[in-house]
Amino acid sequence: MKMKNKIKRPLYLFCSAIFGLFLFILLWALIDLELVRTSRADFWSLSSFLAAIMILGTAFGFFVGRIWWRIVYVEHRHWRN
């Protein structure tokens, strides 16, 4: 592995994990808004749900990052016209 990839791959995976976390927190916010709007919000259940969402979002982003790293940088499958 080239020296450039030793830095690029962990940074790529970190950024994709953060992106997955942001997407799942956005999803949680939409669910939370709906629950608050309908007055079915319970603080403790929402807090545990948020923790699960954060873990799932980070894991989702990490695994999607691994898949796209393989597609783009290992297999060199670029979509060009």
Which region holds residue 80: left if phi is over 0, alpha if psi is between -120 and 50, else beta? beta
pLDDT-derived band of residue 20, with 50, 70 and 90 as boundaries?
very high
Kindly state the average pLDDT of the residues 52-63.
94
Backbone angles phi, psi at 54, to 5 degrees: -65, -40
In the prediction, which pLDDT does 36 show?
74
Q: Domain ranges in the chain? A: 14-74
In the prediction, which pLDDT does 44 show?
62
d(C-alpha 20, C-alpha 45), whole Å: 22
Kindly state the average pLDDT of the residues 26-51.
76
DSSP 9-32: HHHHHHHHHHHHHHHHHHHHHHHH
Q: Please state, rounded to an integer, the average pLDDT across all residues of the chain.
A: 84
